[in-house]
Amino acid sequence: MSDICVDKSHRNSKIGKELVRLTKEKAGNECKLILQLSESATGFYESIGMEMIDRFL
């Protein structure tokens, strides 16, 4: 799977949080989510318990 996003008009409605939760649930423990995020989304990912482990330029 690639590119999960929420339209700007629906942000702050917890859709993104639910998409990530369902993805993790369906993928199972054998899979890891590796995200490339925009700087504007950093707060969102931190708010759902994710942390940055490396930064690519």
The pLDDT of residue 15 is 93
> 13 in a domain, yes or no?
no
pLDDT bracket for residue 56 (50, 70, 90): low
The confidence score (pLDDT) of residue 35 equals: 73
Q: What is the pLDDT of residue 11?
A: 86
| CA separation for the pair 31, 23 (Å, rounded) | 10
Instruction: Note whether residue 42 is domain-resident.
Output: yes
Does 21 fall in a domain? no
Instruction: Quote the CA–CA distance of 14 and 23 in Å, as a whole number.
Output: 14
Overall number of domains in the chain: 1
How many angstroms separate the Cα of 19 from the Cα of each of 2, 55, 56, 57? 12, 23, 24, 27
Q: What is the pTM of this model?
A: 0.67
pLDDT(57) > 60 = no
Range of the domain at 38: 31-57
Residues 6+ apart with CB under 8 A from 30: none
Enter the tokens of residue 44: 């969102």
Is 8 within the bounds of a domain?
Answer: no
In a domain, residue 26? The reply is no
pLDDT in tens, 4-47: 788 989 988 999 889 888 988 998 888 877 777 777 788 888 88
CA atoms within 13 A on the CB side of 25: 6
